[in-house]
Amino acid sequence: MKLQSKFIVLTLSVLTAFIFSCMEPYLETSEKNLDYQIQNNKDGYLNLDFEDGLDYWEFNSSRIYSDRSNLIFIEKTDKEAKVGNNSISINIENQRLTVSRLIDYLPGDSLDFSSRIFVDNDSVKNQNSFGIRVDFLDENFNNLNNSSNFLDDLNTQVWEEIETSASSSNPNAVYAQLKILIFAIDSISMFIDDAQILYNSNYYNNLDSFSLNRPHDSSQFNFGDTTQFSWQKGFTHDSGEYRFDSHLLFEFDNLIANSGFEITGVSDCNGQDMYPMQWWIYPYCRNNGVPTNISPYSTFVSDKVSRLGEKALRMQGLYTDSIQNFNTMWQFVSNQDYRTVPPGSKVTFEGYIMTPDSNKISGSNTVEIGIWSFNEEDQNFPNIAPIFNKNFSSDEWHKFSVSAIMPRYRNSNNTQCGIYIRYNQYNHADGVVYLDDLTVKSDKPMRVNFVSDIVSDTIFTVLPSTYISEYPTWRNWRLNTANWLLGSFQPFLNINSFTVEWDVKAIDDFSNLKSSNGPFKYTYKIQE
């Protein structure tokens, strides 16, 4: 709720004790950002008269010309002051400087922001500039719109005022960032003081807290049921609309296809049914259909040993002329086709390794399992579990585990990540290992937009046809583009139930408000 007062004037009084009275001046010539933390208003105190120096303000700078000398020196001083006893002293050359702070903001409100500057030079060339700006930001600090003003004719050796008026009708605006802008090519000595904020509240804009009603959180339905949603009214004095948003949440017990190596296909290497389907092997016995010199074929599925099921993966060295051989198996976990892992998820890869006493891994040979992922710069940094080597007891299954946070891939909403198993052979040392019972889990479900509608009423209905039409996508979410590789569906990747998350946002011309108790979740079970 907004305050009913028409005007809120944010002013300051001089403190008797200064927080930064012993603060050393700051000198910076190369770093892009000066490390001062943004802080919100505390108990109504904003340090607008800079009596506490740099406290509550952020200072960001960058060099203008890379081939010229540059300087920035900032400190609290009592040499000059427009109000009180102190101001901010700035010596600057070849730098863009932004002095800013962040305050809470409600859409539709207006504010006037001003500050005083004192330039201690005899004169200032036109190529240097001084201004003020207000940026309106959403909850993720994205810039929505702004208002700015610059001094056209600057008088030096006197206190000059810079001011601007600003407002935003964007309903997503939640912050106002107040900025004092300095563009200094030449060497300039100056002071900043007496910032002021006049805040005009749009008190006609009233949105009351509201809550979701039905379906209750954790409800369960049968597939094909009609679902009716309801919530409280959120508008008091003015009219608006509601945005109904729902997402599908995909959660898998295991993100690996053919994790137990039970599904095999005919190998091009020897024509036997021994190839682990939906896995890639490198190097393989054929390169673009042409046989390679890798012999014997050392990676295949065996029915002689298993931890679960009837089969396990067998690996050993390649025995080439090289003293180092790297035999690798890998699989995608998430990419643009198999969108199963959202950015920021913690992915954990676990598995079991065993070496038989009859042909135990020897020498410097090792086995590793790991998670690989590509970041926004398309760089790959694998995370590796502790290695398996000859020091582990034979004829015993040993558990290995590794976790990693998945980065955003190329500034998208997707991740590009996978897992790998590698046998490292050195100096032609012998030894066989078996792997089985692999799992990959993500700590966050994959969220997929389902229904998003603007409605005016507090009741919304989703018909059975909406769910039924999307059922094939849900059921075969990961494998719908990979059947050619597997040859058949994997039961553990079929989706026999799904969760829907829903919430409502009340929206008018100036603001928006989410429900107080959402989001809610409900589950649909598939009956076959």
pLDDT of residue 471: 57
Alpha carbon distance 207, 1 (integer Å):
7
Q: What are the phi and psi torsion angles at 467 (to 5°)? A: -75, -45
Among 347, 348, 349, 267, residue whose Cα is nearest residue 314: 267
With contact defined as beta carbons under 8 Å apart, do 419 and 371 qualify? yes
pLDDT of residue 41: 39
**Residue 128: which residues within 8 A CB-CB, separation 6 or more?**
183, 184, 185, 186, 188
Tens-digit pLDDT profile for residues 405-426: 999 998 888 899 999 999 999 9
Alpha carbon distance 268, 211 (integer Å):
61
Among 129, 104, 207, 162, residue whose Cα is nearest residue 508: 207
Alpha carbon distance 514, 516 (integer Å):
6
With contact defined as beta carbons under 8 Å apart, do 99 and 130 qualify? no
pTM score over 0.85: no
pLDDT of residue 296: 52
210 residue type, one letter: F
Residue 138 predicted with pLDDT over 50: yes
pLDDT of residue 203: 52
Alpha carbon distance 172, 505 (integer Å):
11
pLDDT band at 33; cut points 50, 70, 90: very low
For residue 344, the Cα-to-chain-centroid distance in whole angstroms is 5
Q: Where would I find the beta strands (DSSP E) of 46-107?
A: 58-63, 71-77, 87-93, 95-104
Q: Are strands 398-405 and 346-354 parallel, antiparallel or unpaired?
A: antiparallel
Alpha carbon distance 54, 73 (integer Å):
12
Percent of the chain with pLDDT over 90: 51
Query: Could you tell me the strand order of the sheet in which 416-426 lies?
Result: 280-282, 324-334, 416-426, 366-374, 383-384
CB atoms within 10 A of CB 361: 27
Q: What is the DSSP letter of 207?
A: B
Task: Indicate the length of the chain as a whole number.
Answer: 528
Which of these ranges, 178-192, 238-252, 427-441, has the smallest mean pLDDT?
238-252
Task: List, in order of start, the domains of the chain with CATH numbers.
Answer: 7-200 (2.60.120.260), 212-251+445-525 (2.60.40), 264-442 (2.60.120.260)
pLDDT of residue 470: 63
pLDDT of residue 487: 40
pLDDT band at 30; cut points 50, 70, 90: very low
Beta bridge partners of 147: 134
Q: What is the mean pLDDT of residues 511-524?
A: 90
Conformation bin of residue 278: beta by default, left when phi > 0, alpha when psi is -120 to 50: left
For residue 95, the Cα-to-chain-centroid distance in whole angstroms is 31
Residue 300 predicted with pLDDT over 80: yes
Tens-digit pLDDT profile for residues 330-371: 998 888 777 789 999 999 999 999 999 999 999 999 999 999
Among 249, 310, 259, residue whose Cα is nearest residue 493: 259
